[in-house]
């Protein structure tokens, strides 16, 4: 099997991830719910993971590392905390439904939002489009660091500087960049939240995610409950991370996530990103030589994600045939209708290949060969 759907989740994990999860499952109690050895072992694992995450992303306070179920959960916490009592948001034309749908749900509470659109891979038009959409009522700008459909890398530092200049908060969806592109939140001036999954570029298990809280003020909880702290009070604690971490944490998942983050730290984010970008360019060159295939590629502003379409076959048919040959890709809209609208690939969407550090040039070439042998009607 050739697994090229790492944009959904990395299937191949470092062996240490599974070992840590199994050990935690049988040795850990509930962190913050006791002083006995199993509870303290769990607390140590959670604390260690916070340390590793803060180190990887340049966050200067451990309490700003909040563990979530996934990136969608993190985005909901960030968006609904920021827009708790209304306001306006600006989002890019390449956002995932995990950002769009919370905003749609908030319409009944007086929240509005505008979509800043620009052509695919047009970094020059990015800032103008976002700035043009900001109004006096805008409280936040929400952007995907990297498009989950096209691998389009947005100019994050420039967007952050724009938001700082205009006095609006920045919420970053790092689902396709965390662990793959350098991301130092200490250098971001306007970013209030950075959201990411644990199960993609951080090589952790599914059911894990991270919310980096870069600012510590004006936070609003989404879920309330037991935190192991301030138990005498009937109201939710207002401090981090407790305000966002109600109920029992996924300790086996966090144990695996810690090993995944350590793996990324050991390998180096730049080395991982360079490897994936090389494979993406190799795949693009190969697909561009295949008749009837259009690859959406860019020589510089693209990470380890590439979409393509076949002129005579719908994306689902291409993915199904590739799947029969043991090549795993994703087809359709990839939960990102806005991105396809911006790129002009509605209504069918694209076929997407996405790489991890474990993929090889031979696997990219095998995909090119298989696509070249497809027989369209």
pLDDT in tens, 107-146: 999 999 999 999 999 998 999 999 999 999 999 999 999 9
349 neighbors 332 (Cβ within 8 angstroms): yes
Give kind and range of the element (H or E) at residue 70: none
Residue-averaged pLDDT of the chain: 96
pLDDT higher than threshold 60 for residue 298: yes
For the segment 85-95, what is each residue's pLDDT rounded down to a tens digit?
999 999 999 99
Average pLDDT over residues 155-178: 98
pTM for the whole thing? 0.96
The tokens describing 72, both together, are 């969608």
pLDDT higher than threshold 80 for residue 7: yes
CATH 3.90.1150.10 domain extents, the chain: 2-10+268-372
The dihedral built from the CA positions of residue 268, 274, 304 and 124, taken in this order, carries a sign that is positive
The pLDDT value given to residue 217 = 74
The pLDDT value given to residue 66 = 98
Average pLDDT over residues 310-315: 96
pLDDT higher than threshold 90 for residue 305: yes
Which residue spans within the chain are E strands per DSSP?
A: 2-3, 65-68, 87-92, 111-116, 138-144, 169-173, 191-197, 209-213, 293-296, 305-310, 327-328, 330-332, 350-354
Q: In CATH, what class is 15-267?
A: alpha beta
pLDDT higher than threshold 60 for residue 377: no
d(CA 342, CA 117): 6
Does the domain made of 2-10+268-372 have the CATH classification 3.90.1150.10? yes
For the segment 138-152, what is each residue's pLDDT rounded down to a tens digit?
999 999 999 999 999
pLDDT higher than threshold 90 for residue 78: yes
Average pLDDT over residues 16-29: 98
d(CA 349, CA 314): 9
pLDDT band at 9 (very low <50, low <70, confident <90, very high): very high
The pLDDT value given to residue 376 = 57
The pLDDT value given to residue 326 = 98
CATH 3.40.640.10 domain extents, the chain: 15-267
d(CA 193, CA 53): 14
Q: 43 in the Ramachandran plot: left (φ > 0), alpha (ψ -120 to 50) or beta?
A: alpha
């Amino acid at each position: 099997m050739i697994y090229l759907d790492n944009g959904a989740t990395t299937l191949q994990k470092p062996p240490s991830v599974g070992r840590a999860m199994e050990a935690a499952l049988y040795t850990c109690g509930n962190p913050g719910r006791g002083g006995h050895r199993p509870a303290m072992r769990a607390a140590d694992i959670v604390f260690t993971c916070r340390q590793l995450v803060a180190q990887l992303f340049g966050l200067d306070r451990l309490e700003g590392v909040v563990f979530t179920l996934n990136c969608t959960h993190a985005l909901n916490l960030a968006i609904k905390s920021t827009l708790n009592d209304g306001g306006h948001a600006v989002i890019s034309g390449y956002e995932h439904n995990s950002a769009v749908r919370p905003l749609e749900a908030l319409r009944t509470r007086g929240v509005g939002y505008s979509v800043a659109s620009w052509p695919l891979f047009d970094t020059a038009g990015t800032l103008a489009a976002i700035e043009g959409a900001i109004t006096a009522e805008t409280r936040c700008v929400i952007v995907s660091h990297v498009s989950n459909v096209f691998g389009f890398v947005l100019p994050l530092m420039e967007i952050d500087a724009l938001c700082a200049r205009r006095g609006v908060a920045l919420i970053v969806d790092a689902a396709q960049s965390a662990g793959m592109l350098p991301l130092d939140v200490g250098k971001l001036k306007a970013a209030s939240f950075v959201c990411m999954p644990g199960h993609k570029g951080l090589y952790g298990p599914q059911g894990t995610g991270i919310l980096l809280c870069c600012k510590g003020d004006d936070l609003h909880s989404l879920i309330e409950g037991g935190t192991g702290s301030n138990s005498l009070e009937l109201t939710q604690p207002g401090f981090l991370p407790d305000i966002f971490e109600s109920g029992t944490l996924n300790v086996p998942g966090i144990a695996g996530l810690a090993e995944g983050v350590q793996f990324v730290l050991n390998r180096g984010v730049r080395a991982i990103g360079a490897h994936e970008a090389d494979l993406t360019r190799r795949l693009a060159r190969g697909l561009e030589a295949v008749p009837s295939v259009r690859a959406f590629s860019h020589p510089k502003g693209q990470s380890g994600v590439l979409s393509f379409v076949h002129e005579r076959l719908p994306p689902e048919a291409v993915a199904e045939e590739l799947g029969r040959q043991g090549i795993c890709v994703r087809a359709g809209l990839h939960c990102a209708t806005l991105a396809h609208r911006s790129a002009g690939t509605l209504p069918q969407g694209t076929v997407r290949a996405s790489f991890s550090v474990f993929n090889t040039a031979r696997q990219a070439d095998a995909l090119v060969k298989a696509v070249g042998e497809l027989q369209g009607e």
